[in-house]
Amino acid sequence: MRRFAIAGSCLALATTSLNLDAQVLASERSSVSQTVDGTTATLTYYRPRARGRTGLFGTRVRWGEVWTPGANQATTLNVNKDVSIEGQPVAKGTYSIWFVITRGPWEMVLDKDTTLFHTQGPKQRPGQIRFPISREKRPFMETLTWSFPEVSTAGATLALQWDTVYVPVQLRVTPSYNTAVDAATARHMAGLYHIHFEPEPSSSDTTLAAPLETGARDVTFTVRQQGSELRGIMDPPMYRTEDGYADWILLPTKGGWFTMGRFHKGELIEIFDFFQIQFDSAGDLANGFEIRAPNDQLIGKGIRR
């Protein structure tokens, strides 16, 4: 009996340090990654399948269990910059992910030990990040799946789904941009401008399809102060192939330059970092501005009307 106990212990140790790069696994390895405003979140996990089983939570995953949402090695989350998850600050780094499974509210646990096997759920200890999570009922999902079903310029929803359980977790990033403009600068720049854009570069490559639409060459640009921000309306819109090229924000950068961000239905959806705008500094009101590419190529000029 002693020999069998020793052999069993050795097998358990070997299992926890198992090389999981075999060609065929019951739960195959996967990863999903999303970048938002320069912050990248990457989740790595092994994907168990239901294989005809239903009602997995409460049976296969037992009530009271500290469960990694995956299989084999603990599921991990890496963030390359500081973020917040469900309102909790999470410093950049890599964490193993665990759920405390109960009949009532669940709890999510981020633990700095990323070497744990799926049966080695950690107890509560210093350094962990713990917070409640909500869950919903969704159509049956055969294979455990992590995804980013919703993405914005401020963050994303990181979601788990398996069986009929769906767990959405809100991740928020720190903006890389500043929207605030001091009142004196805003007054200097606010006004009505006529913008003339230079012709877009053409290509001699006859194998390329023609663009769906070229940008408007002449537009009216109304710059106004809105709170601590500078907003602009472009008429006609720069492009008409999709919404979101009429409503803009001017974002201050270094050396008195600005970039442009475009809004759609009240949400900042894109920053044109290839647009560098500089207003003239003479007088109480700016007479105009230039729009240049990072290589100093002139894109367009604005003249106050």
Residue 80, pLDDT score: 97
Q: How far is 279 from 260, CA to CA, in rounded Å?
A: 13
Tell how far CA 8 is from the center of its chain: 44
What's the chain look like in SS3?
A: CHHHHHHHHHHHHHHHCCCCCCCCCCCEEEEEEEEECCEEEEEEEEECECCCCCCCECCCECCCCEECCCCCECCEEEECCCEEECCEEECCEEEEEEEECCCCCEEEEEECCCCCECCCCCCCCCCCEEEEECCEEEEEEEEEEEEEEEECCCEEEEEEEEEEEEEEEEEEECCCCCCCCCHHHHHHHCEEEEEEECCCCCCCCCCCCCCCCCCCCEEEEEEEEECCEEEEEEECCCCCCCCCCCEEEEEECHHHCEEEEEEECCEEEEEEEEEEEEECCCCCCCCEEEEECCCCCEEEEEEEC
Percentage of residues in the chain having pLDDT higher than 90 = 76
Residues 71-119 pLDDT 10s? 999 999 999 999 999 999 999 999 999 999 999 999 999 999 999 999 8
Strand partners for 46: 29
What would the mean pLDDT of 166-178 be, rounded to a whole number?
96
79 or 23, greater pLDDT: 79
20 or 241, greater pLDDT: 241
CB 173 within 8 A of CB 39: yes
**Could you give the count of Cα atoms lying within 13 Å of 135 in the half-sphere of its Cβ?**
20
Residues 229-251 pLDDT 10s? 999 999 999 888 788 899 999 99
Residue 203, pLDDT score: 64
Residue 213, pLDDT score: 63
Percentage of residues in the chain having pLDDT higher than 70 = 89
Of the candidates 272, 289, 295, the one whose C-alpha atom is nearest the C-alpha of residue 196 is 289
| Domains recognised in the chain with CATH numbers | 27-173 (no CATH), 183-201+213-304 (2.40.128)
Q: How far is 267 from 182, CA to CA, in rounded Å?
A: 22
Q: How far is 191 from 59, CA to CA, in rounded Å?
A: 66
**Global model pTM greater than 0.85:** no
